[in-house]
Structure 1
Amino acid sequence: MTWTPHVTAAVVIEDGQGRFLLVEEVSGGKVVLNQPAGHVEEGESILTAACRETLEETGWRVDLDYLLGVYTFVAPANGVTYYRFCFAARALEKLTDQLDTEIITTHWLTPEEVRDRRDSLRSPLVLECIEDYRKGRRYPLDVLVEQQARND
């Protein structure tokens, strides 16, 4: 059997009132809360994936500010290893209310509200990323070097 890690991009977005944008979605038959996040598609840059997933799951166009970190999580339900590139971003404009089919709705929640709903988080990384953001963790986006294949 071949080990295949999964690469995902996630985005932490804070509004001007100290609330964070989360999505309510169905995963594994359960309703959970998560940052806008999803898999990086073949041939797609991680930065592009972060913006695409945010738009698809929340309807918001965002501008990425910096990298919060790269997080590793092994899902207990299926043993899959996820590498999560988490970014901080600013919400620029709401473009649509049409969301991915797995998304039930979106919520702007305070850190306390997220902590109170800890049992319904998709993974512990949801709260960990918000806490790292609040602690001031920041890495410039150019720390990521993504080479595209050349067709010479």
Structure 2
Amino acid sequence: MTAIRHRIIVASVLEQCGRFLCIEEMVDGLLKLSQPAGKLEVGETPIQGAVRETREESGYSFLPTHLVGIYEYYYSASQTIYLRLAYTGAVFAPEGPLTQPTDPSIHAVHWLTYEQLDRARERHRSPFVMQCVDDYLLGRSFPLDIVTSFLPARPRESG
């Protein structure tokens, strides 16, 4: 019997003027759309991870204000359960030119309307993409302190 793997994914659902921050990334040889998201790293809280992933994948910074939702998905091909924590908040472009994403798998960064995202469902990396946006638009929102961390304090990164 093969053990089921678990992955904690942190993501940001960021909207400005009716458009959502999305990244286009190469996954198994195909370009896929998603929100900035990735695996939680050892020693970081989900909030820290979401901020880091957003900066690495899009070049944007953001200040989380709420948790949009917690999502679970089983991917049978890898026998992995993914648990995604999606945050929203205020998004900030860096002063000066937008930096290039530091993640080499990122092909492009887009601000897409709901309609553009909806029409591109076949290119979504996972079912999380539209569900997170739908929940955001429904006003689903939980306080950041709904997730309690017992991790030791981690120093803040500059930048």
Give distance in 1, aligned partners of 2:79 and 2:34. 19
Query: Does 2:43 match 1:43?
Result: yes
Matched, 1:121 2:124: yes
- The question of 1:12 aligning with 2:13 is answered yes
SS in 2 for 1:74: strand
Q: Secondary structure at the match of 1:5?
A: strand
How many residue pairs align between the two structures? Answer: 149
Q: Distance in 1 between matches of 2:100 and 2:90?
A: 18
Identity of aligned residues (%): 36
1:46-65 aligned at under 5 Å gives the runs: 46-65=46-65
Deviations 1:26-69 (A, max 9, x none): 11221100000000011111110000000000000101010011
Asked if 1 retains the 8 angstrom alpha-carbon contact of 2:4 and 2:79, the reply is: no
Q: How many angstroms does 1:88 deviate by?
A: 0.9
Distance apart, 1:113 and its partner CA: 0.5
1:1-152 equivalence runs, <5 A: 1-15=2-16, 17-94=17-94, 96-149=99-152
AA aligned to 1:108 is: W
- CA drift of 1:99 comes to 3.1
TM-score (norm 2): 0.88
Is the contact made by 2:5 and 2:79 (CA closer than 8 Å) also made in structure 1? Answer: no
Amino acid at match of 2:7: H
Counterpart-to-counterpart distance in 2, 1:149 and 1:87? 21
Alpha-carbon distance, 1:149 to partner = 4.9
Between the aligned partners of 2:14 and 2:84, the Cα distance in structure 1 is: 16
Opposite residue 135 of structure 1, the aligned amino acid is L
Runs of 5+ in structure 1 lacking a partner? Answer: none
Give 1:76 deviation, angstroms: 4.1
Q: Given the two structures, how large is their TM-score scaled by the length of structure 1?
A: 0.92
CA RMSD of aligned residues (A): 1.5
Helix, strand or coil at the partner of 2:93: strand
Deviation at 1:3, TM superposition (A): 2.9
